[in-house]
Amino acid sequence: MASKHFSFIYIIPFLVIVILLFSSPSHSAYYTSSAPFRASAICNSTVDHYFCRSTLPQNVSWNQYDYSHYSFQQSLSTTRVLSFWMTKYLRRQWKLPISAIRALDDCKKLADLNTDFLSKTMATLDSLKSSLSGLQAEDLQALFSAILTNQQTCLDGLQFTSSAWNATSDIHSHLSNGKKMHSLSLALFTNAWFKQIKSGRQANEEWRNKWEGLARRRRIIHANLKGVVVNNSVVVNPNGSGDFTTITDAINAAPNNTDISNGYFVIFIAAGVYEEYVNVAKNKMNLMMIGDGINKTVITGNRSVGDGWTTFNSATFIVVGQGFVGVDMTIQNAAGAIKGQAVALRSGADMSTFYRCSFEGYQDTLYTHSLRQFYRECDIYGTVDFIFGNAAVVLQNCNIYPRLPIHGQSNEITAQGRTDPNQNTGISIHNCNIRASKELGGSTDGTMTYLGRPWKEYSRTVYMQSFMDSVIAPIGWDKWSGDFALSTLYYTEFNNTGPGSDTSNRVTWPGYQVINTTDAASFTVSNFIAGDAWLPQTGVPYTAGLI
């Protein structure tokens, strides 16, 4: 239960935040490029018109960049307020159940991450004297999409545990207001700068030229990874013959906040079973982990919601550090189907890549949480919602294996979590193979397997040029609850093959459609995740467009 009285130590930072909340935007030179107008006009193009009008100043006449910058300041202020409340409650852990403590800890980490993202965004904008380049605008849109995702993740976790304690009403108020504020900031950013984003090909060319100009030291470190720039490398082997015996120790030894122009810090992981929970933190950037192969290098854990963990922190392997590359290893959550949500991998790392890896679990196996991600020639095993999250992610040339769930359950391959139409997020499954696992294929219990269901209101999932075996139900897609999101989701299929790809008996929801080549091209590696800009440096093969 929250106390009605708290010490003066809480009041000081709170007053500072309130002052920031009502401060005016700094008017950099580049904000004067568009004509001024009233807030009511710009609010017509946002998701929540009423919140926008009640938030933006009504007695000023700014241009669209001023309004956008003002909203960034408010987003940063509300994030600091949320972090303050998380800290307050975590200082009283003895009064809370363990499930609440874990949910609050998730929220504190996510709020701190959002503070970093917003500070980075504002620093980028304040440092410029001209409009954003296409790449800069894409990067910032990805960050704002992730900020909103982080806020929603916190809200989901607290709602899941709220029955265990009764002191969350004030936090929920801050979360709800913060979510609206971040949504407004994303909308205003999109209106002000999105039109400046160049085509994917132009933007990718900018990044590629930069990369080729910086990269000087190229080494072949793996038979299938060509032209990778390496800064340093270490070996993990549990028998003591390497530099480290645990993966965690090797990560801790990696330098902090490295730039990709200096090359990757490479961790070779010898064959073996590693019973440890791996966490690549936000300051461990541009790490590359290379195992000895699927089912040879195995990283395993068994945390689950059934045992009191949040979905977010149940993961065996967590990666947040930008530019991570994982190759030739198995990551599994061995909790079992009976334990409910149990994540093998959670990635919230921008421009992260996994190549020839296997992800094994049941419910919620692969958590593509946020930002831009790519998976190539990977195996994914699971049952309920086993590829989920709100990243902008492409899975290419992967094998997707629905497993045998608990009796009475159905399989949903995807549960995409887009909550706002301005987010750049979605799941693109391109040139993959979808087949029943051996256990499901040999079952006679009539388990239904669907391509996905809408976890959030603007859920977006695309299947392109993939093979679908008869395991896929003729109707194709499953509902979440009643008619929730059926008109706002975006579920599409394009030129798939196999007995499960027949679309003649698919759902007739307003948000479902079979798309053409032009629409499908929007969800390719080149266009959807700007892959030409950052995948060449990884050495991982990829197909930029449609096949």
Instruction: Give me the residue label for tokens 């070996």.
Output: 235
| Residue 385 a catalytic site member | yes
Residues 463 and 449: their CA atoms lie apart, in Å, by 15
**For the packed helices 169-193 and 64-90, what is the interaxial angle rounded to 10 degrees?**
160
Q: Max alpha carbon distance in the chain (Å)?
A: 70
Crossing angle between the packed helical segments 134-161 and 64-90, to the nearest 10 degrees:
30
Exposure b/e, 387-418, CB count within 10 A at least 16 = b = bbbbbbbbbbbbbbbbbbbeeeebbbbbbbbb
Q: Is 309 left (phi over 0), alpha (psi -120 to 50) or beta?
A: beta
* 329 contacts 269 by C-beta, under 8 angstroms: yes
Of the candidates 66, 112, 328, 385, the residue annotated as catalytic is 385
> Nearest-CA neighbor of 543 among 357, 396, 356, 324?
396
Look up tokens 């299938």; give the residue. Answer: 224
**Whole-angstrom Cα distance, residue 372 to residue 390?**
10
Burial 518-546 (b: 16+ CB within 10 A, else e): eebbebbbbbbbbbbbbbbbbbbebbeeb
Quick one: tokens of 384?
């309920």
C-alpha 68/C-alpha 81 separation (Å) is 20
User: Residue for token digits 């958590």?
Assistant: 367
Q: How far apart are CA 25 and CA 57, in angstroms?
A: 11
User: Distance between CA atoms of 519 and 464, rounded to whole angstroms?
Assistant: 11
Give the position of tokens 């091209």. 521
Distances (CA, A) of 379 to 27, 40, 365, 376: 50, 50, 11, 9
Q: Are 185 and 75 in contact (CB under 8 A)?
A: yes
Q: Which residues are catalytically annotated?
A: 385
